Amino acid sequence: MATKEKTDMENDDVVTDKIHYRGVKAMPFIIGNETFEKLGAIGTLSNLQVYLTTVFNMKRISATTLLSVFHGTTNFATLFGAYFCDTYFGRYKTLGFGSFASFLGLLVITLTAAFKNLHPPHCSPGTTTCVGATPPQTAFLYAGFGLLIIGAGAIRPCNLAFGADQFNPNTVSGKRGIDSFFNWYFFTLTFAQMVSVTLVVYVQSDLSWPIGLAIPAGFMLISLFLFFAGTRIYVMVKPEGSPLTSVAQVVAVAVRKRRLKHPPQPWLSLFSYAPPKSINSRLPYTEQF
């Protein structure tokens, strides 16, 4: 049964409307990229508060505030990433740029632990006053956070959609491939979380911060390599505009035409247009919102 399903998915390597779908061949590169990207990101982010309080001598409340701002900004950045992806760059370029930015961010944070000049002196237990980070040290740390925000803002809105792009949604084997991709994606996400919050955190807290932070940076470098290694077989959907732009246009037109009289038969007179080759179909007229 498994062999038959695999054969069906491999038969999806066909040309449909001049698009070469090679989902099964592309999936190892995309899943590998996702796995190592999550190992790198989660391996660093899951233990950052301990790092800030023990290496950068931050107060717990200051470290918590900084991480809250970081996570909130990261979530907000996905809106910009999705907009630029859908409108200008496409998912492939956006993911490549985001992966590179994330690697640089992890590298910067690793350097803050590896070099003594990039973090304040160690504060021994029982010391009442600890030396804080200097403005240049803080700025270098914030630069790492900024690169991670840029990377996450570009990766998060694109990774699942880019994987689904590799399969033909109009065939049975393509739909099975998409389901398989989602299953593998969430399986590897869980695996990355388990490894990161156990093995990587142990190395960071109990052995060495430079080594513990270098491991996620190395994972991110592998993720970057795997992503670009599959470039020649990826399906790259061209950007066709962001849904946010369409929503803004609807709001603008609704405001401009707010004084127009309601037509007597809107189901006949209102213009309804579906672009050719669009995945969207015409919606029937309804009196409900």
Q: Is the predicted pLDDT of residue 281 greater than 70, yes or no? A: no
Query: Taking the domains of the chain in order of start, what are their residue ranges?
Result: 23-121+132-230
Torsion sign across C-alpha atoms 246, 252, 255, 260: negative
Half-sphere exposure of 158 (CA within 13 A, CB side): 31
pLDDT in tens, 104-150: 999 999 999 888 888 888 877 666 677 777 889 889 999 999 999 99
pLDDT in tens, 198-251: 888 888 888 888 888 888 889 889 888 888 888 888 888 787 766 777 788 888
Report the pLDDT value the prediction gives residue 101, as an integer from 0 to 100: 92
pLDDT above 70 coverage of the chain, percent: 84
Residues in a beta bridge with 16: 19
Torsion sign across C-alpha atoms 224, 28, 191, 78: positive
pLDDT in tens, 70-88: 989 988 998 888 888 888 8
Half-sphere exposure of 244 (CA within 13 A, CB side): 10
State the average pLDDT for the chain.
81
Report the pLDDT value the prediction gives residue 10, as an integer from 0 to 100: 46
DSSP the chain: -HHHHHHHHHTT-SEETTEE--HHHHHHHHHHHHHHHHHHHHHHHTTHHHHHHHTS---HHHHHHHHHHHHHHHHHHHHHHHHHIIIIIHHHHHHHHHHHHHHHHHHHHHHHHH-GGGSPPP--TT-S------HHHHHHHHHHHHHHHHHHHHHTTTHHHHHHHTS-TTSHHHHHHHHHHHHHHHHHHHHHHHHIIIIIHHIIIII-HHHHHHHHHHHHHHHHHHHHHTGGG---PPP---HHHHHHHHHHHHHHTTTSPPPS-HHHHS-----TT-S--PPPP-S--
Q: How confident is the model at residue 283 (pLDDT cuts 50, 70, 90)?
A: low
pTM over 0.85: no
Distance (Å, whole) CA 51 – CA 122: 12
Mean pLDDT of 87-105: 89
Give the domain 23-121+132-230 fold.
Growth Hormone; Chain: A; (1.20.1250)
Report the pLDDT value the prediction gives residue 122, as an integer from 0 to 100: 81
Give the range with max mean pLDDT: 25-29, 62-66, 255-259.
Answer: 62-66
| Neighbour-count burial of 105, counting CB atoms closer than 10 A to its CB (0-12 exposed, 13-18 middle, 19+ buried) | buried
The crossing angle, in degrees rounded to 10, of helices 23-45 and 135-155 is 150
Report the pLDDT value the prediction gives residue 282, as an integer from 0 to 100: 65
